[in-house]
């Protein structure tokens, strides 16, 4: 029975503790609850009052103005270097190579003898045809003498005249074939690898070597449509034209400037580019056929409006700056970029030289917000950029 007695005691104790509230009036209980709710709300009311009473401080930013200066605009393209003339030297007639009179890499002049084909057969043929021509000439003279003595007719003389002409033509053909056994340089150039040696049996048309004319080098490169339009716009500017420079594979600049000699007639629809050709003089012979490098097309843009790239922000594909007005409010404004350099934009429109733009603190301000700012001179700003405008 002890367990049942112990279970009853806690219940009675609970009732005795709450008995004073059983007779309390409902109104009194409601009042207590209302006071408790007001007490809980007081800290929040005090906090809001304090926040409303403290004015928000405007953000502090650094501003500057655009810089007016001359700047070099450079377009860079990968290129391939070719000789002005690069041809294959072929055997004009078949036979054995008798002599090789040049070495690989040797510079030759126009008309220099390079190869000879064994001429025995062609020499014998030429001698035979030449003898036939002499015989025909003697026969013609004899016939003319007979004609003068009224022994033969005029037709007989004409027949021997034709025979002589045919013999001379055959002799000339044999002489040409004999001359083909001597292969000479068609122009000044540099001999490439020798593909055949003395004693080799070659056929008509066999490639013996390659000859390159490196006096002027043709440099080919592909230009996208935007670069093409920039180049054509530069040509329209009569004050200053484009400078064409060549950077070699080791990073050094070729000492001679070139010029654009040709632009092809149409764009490649697959790549969106158009081929250009620049011509470079090569008096020292440094450039060789097949080299690669980079073409630099540059010109000086005078009185350009320059701003640091970090003073701008993008929305989709458009560029914006924050302009600070006379009252210290920032205004968001779209600008048009003419050229993009390292750390610098060349502005075409949307900004004036005397206007102040936010340089540091762009992420802290919004359009129309009042700011406190520190002005930094553009010369000081540009001194700390990677790229320095000249």
Give ∠ CA 78-80-85 in degrees, rounded to 5.
155
4: part of which helix (H) or strand (E)? helix 2-18
Q: Largest Cα–Cα distance of the chain, in whole Å?
A: 182
Nearest-angstrom CA–CA distance, 279 and 274 = 17
Give the pLDDT of residue 18. Answer: 45
For residue 311, which of 384, 369, 227, 390 has the smallest C-alpha distance? 384
The pLDDT tens digits for 247-277 are 999 999 999 999 999 999 999 999 999 999 9
Rounded (10°) CA dihedral 159, 161, 164, 168:
-130
Nearest-angstrom CA–CA distance, 271 and 222 = 9
Mean pLDDT across the stretch 335-339? 90
Give the pLDDT of residue 152. Answer: 82
Give the pLDDT of residue 238. Answer: 57
Q: How confident is the model at residue 388 (pLDDT cuts 50, 70, 90)?
A: very low
Q: Does the structure show a pLDDT above 50 at 209?
A: yes
Nearest-angstrom CA–CA distance, 225 and 229 = 6
The pLDDT tens digits for 151-199 are 888 888 888 889 989 989 998 888 888 888 889 999 999 999 999 999 9
Nearest-angstrom CA–CA distance, 47 and 62 = 33
Give the pLDDT of residue 93. Answer: 85
Give the pLDDT of residue 302. Answer: 86
CATH architecture of 60-71+302-383: Beta Barrel (2.40)
Q: Does the structure show a pLDDT above 60 at 30?
A: no
Distance from the first to the final alpha carbon of the chain: 107
Q: How confident is the model at residue 242 (pLDDT cuts 50, 70, 90)?
A: confident
Q: How confident is the model at residue 20 (pLDDT cuts 50, 70, 90)?
A: very low
Give the pLDDT of residue 17. Answer: 41
Joined together, the tokens standing for residue 363 give 């992420």
Joined together, the tokens standing for residue 14 give 């609970």
Tell the residue number behind the tokens 């030289």, with chain if given: 353
Give the pLDDT of residue 110. Answer: 95
* Helix%, strand%, coil% for the chain, nearest 5: 35, 35, 30
User: At 290, is the secondary structure helix, strand, or coil?
Assistant: coil
The answer to whether the beta carbons of residues 183 and 92 sit under 8 Å apart is yes
Q: Which residues contact 94 (CB under 8 A, 6 or more apart)?
A: 117, 201, 202, 203, 204, 206
**60-71+302-383 and 119-180, same CATH topology:** no
Give the pLDDT of residue 176. Answer: 82
Nearest-angstrom CA–CA distance, 163 and 143 = 12
Q: How confident is the model at residue 123 (pLDDT cuts 50, 70, 90)?
A: confident
Q: Which residues contact 258 (CB under 8 A, 6 or more apart)?
A: 219, 244, 245, 246, 278, 279, 280, 281
Q: How confident is the model at residue 25 (pLDDT cuts 50, 70, 90)?
A: very low
**Top-tier CATH class for 74-82+213-300:** mainly beta
Of 175 and 287, the structure prediction assigns the larger pLDDT to 287
The answer to whether the beta carbons of residues 341 and 72 sit under 8 Å apart is no
Q: Which residues contact 341 (CB under 8 A, 6 or more apart)?
A: 71, 73, 387
Mean pLDDT across the stretch 100-121? 91
Nearest-angstrom CA–CA distance, 19 and 14 = 9
The answer to whether the beta carbons of residues 254 and 247 sit under 8 Å apart is yes
User: At 287, is the secondary structure helix, strand, or coil?
Assistant: coil
CATH architecture of 119-180: Orthogonal Bundle (1.10)
Phi, psi of 8 (to 5 degrees): -75, -35
Strand partners, 182: 116
Q: How confident is the model at residue 236 (pLDDT cuts 50, 70, 90)?
A: confident
Q: Which residues contact 216 (CB under 8 A, 6 or more apart)?
A: 84, 279, 280, 281, 282
Joined together, the tokens standing for residue 126 give 């030429």
Give the pLDDT of residue 156. Answer: 87
Q: Does the structure show a pLDDT above 70 at 143?
A: yes
Q: How confident is the model at residue 119 (pLDDT cuts 50, 70, 90)?
A: confident
Give the pLDDT of residue 190. Answer: 95
Whether the model clears a pTM of 0.85, i.e. scores above it, the answer is: no
Write down the number of H helices and E strands in the chain.
6, 19
Query: Domain residues of the chain, as ranges?
Result: 60-71+302-383, 74-82+213-300, 119-180
The pLDDT tens digits for 38-89 are 444 444 444 444 444 456 788 999 999 999 998 888 889 999 999 999 999 9
């Amino acid at each position: 029975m002890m367990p049942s007695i112990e279970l009853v005691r806690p219940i009675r104790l609970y009732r005795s503790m709450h008995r004073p509230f059983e007779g309390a009036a409902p109104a009194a209980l409601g009042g207590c609850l209302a006071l408790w709710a007001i007490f809980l709300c007081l800290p929040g009311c005090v906090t809001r009052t304090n926040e409303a009473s403290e004015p928000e401080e405007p953000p502090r930013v650094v501003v500057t103005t655009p810089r007016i200066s001359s700047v070099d605009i450079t377009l860079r393209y990968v290129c391939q270097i070719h000789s002005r003339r690069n041809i294959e030297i072929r055997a004009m007639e078949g036979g054995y190579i008798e002599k090789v009179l040049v070495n690989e890499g040797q510079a030759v002049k126009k008309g220099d003898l390079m190869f000879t084909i064994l001429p025995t057969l062609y020499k014998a043929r030429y001698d035979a045809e030449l003898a036939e021509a002499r015989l025909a000439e003697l026969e013609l003279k004899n016939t003319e003498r007979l004609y003068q003595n009224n022994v033969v007719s005029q037709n007989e003389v004409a027949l021997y005249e034709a025979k002589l002409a045919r013999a001379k033509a055959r002799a000339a053909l044999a002489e040409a074939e004999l001359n083909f056994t001597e292969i000479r340089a068609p122009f000044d150039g540099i001999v490439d690898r020798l593909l055949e040696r003395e004693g080799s049996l070659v056929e008509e048309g066999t490639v013996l070597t390659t000859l390159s004319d490196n006096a002027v080098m043709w440099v080919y490169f592909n230009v996208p449509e935007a670069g093409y339009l920039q180049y054509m716009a530069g040509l329209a500017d009569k004050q200053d034209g484009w400078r064409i420079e060549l950077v070699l594979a080791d990073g050094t600049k070729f000492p001679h400037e070139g010029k654009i000699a040709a632009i092809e007639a149409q764009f490649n629809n697959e790549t969106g580019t158009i081929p250009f050709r620049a011509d470079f003089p090569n008096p020292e012979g440094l450039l060789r056929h097949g080299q690669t490098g980079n073409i630099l097309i540059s010109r000086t843009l005078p009185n350009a409006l320059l701003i640091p790239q970090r003073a701008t922000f993008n929305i989709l594909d458009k560029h914006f700056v924050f302009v600070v007005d006379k009252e210290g409010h920032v205004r968001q404004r779209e600008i048009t970029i003419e050229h993009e350099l390292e750390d610098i934009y060349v502005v075409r429109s949307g900004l004036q030289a005397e206007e102040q733009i936010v340089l540091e603190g762009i992420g802290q301000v919004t359009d129309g917000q009042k700011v406190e700012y520190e002005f930094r001179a553009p010369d000081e700003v540009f001194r700390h950029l990677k790229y320095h405008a000249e």
